[in-house]
């Protein structure tokens, strides 16, 4: 169990998966989300994109943060063949994304921001994932039973499509879900130590 030493954790994410991860740590936290623009300059690549978005998500908190508060922001992106896949716009877009990822290696990039009243730090993690060749029927079935509209790359590794389609993973499993938990724990421990 993490000792927070009087610190208050605020998760600035509406992701139910990120919330569930923090609940597993058995630490008290609050969820506070401000609307955010997830656009980024086209000159950015890979980790630069997620780190840029994480910094943007922390902006609304900068004027309001108090001593002994830690605001956690996060962003996840999928990269395949130099194309960046965020959340799908609709079911057809999700289908196109999954067909594009089918039979290929891709990277899942997550950046996590930690804002205190003294500083802002970002950690980033990359996990390599390989999908086997997925059939049209499998993709259609997945989109019907577990619509992935809130997931980067249009899939959840913990979902049915991940269970039957992921051939290989190299790196953090929790990163693919949206939060590299071991790194997050280390950063919280560092920020809250006496």
pTM: 0.94
Summary mean pLDDT of the chain: 96
Which one of 75, 90, 121, 137 is the catalytic residue? 75
State the average pLDDT over residues 178-193: 95
Per-residue pLDDT at 1 exceeds 80 = no
Torsion of CA 134, 140, 144, 149, to 10 degrees: 70
Domains and their CATH numbers in the chain: 8-192 (3.90.950.10)
* pLDDT score of 194 more than 80: no
pLDDT value of residue 183:
97
75 tagged catalytic: yes
DSSP string, 79-129: EETTEEE-S-SSHHHHHHHHHHHTTSEEEEEEEEEEE-SS-EEEEEEEEEE
């Amino acid at each position: 169990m993490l000792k927070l030493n009087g610190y208050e954790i605020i998760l600035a994410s509406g992701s139910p998966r990120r919330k569930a991860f923090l609940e597993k740590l058995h630490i008290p936290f609050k969820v506070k989300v401000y609307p955010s623009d997830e656009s980024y300059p086209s000159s950015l690549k890979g980790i630069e994109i997620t780190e840029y978005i994480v910094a943007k998500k922390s902006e609304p908190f900068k004027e309001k943060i108090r001593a002994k508060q830690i605001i956690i922001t996060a962003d996840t992106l999928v990269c395949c063949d130099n194309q960046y896949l965020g959340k799908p716009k609709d079911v057809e877009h999700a289908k196109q994304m999954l067909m594009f990822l089918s039979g290929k290696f891709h990277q899942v990039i997550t950046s996590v921001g930690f804002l205190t009243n003294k500083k802002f730090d970002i950690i980033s993690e990359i996990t390599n994932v390989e999908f086997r060749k997925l059939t049209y029927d499998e993709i259609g079935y997945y989109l019907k039973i577990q619509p992935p509209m809130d997931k980067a790359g249009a899939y959840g590794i913990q979902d049915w499509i991940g269970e039957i389609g992921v051939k290989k993973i190299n790196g953090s499993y929790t990163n693919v879900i949206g939060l590299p938990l071991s790194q997050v724990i280390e950063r919280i421990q560092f920020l809250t130590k006496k």
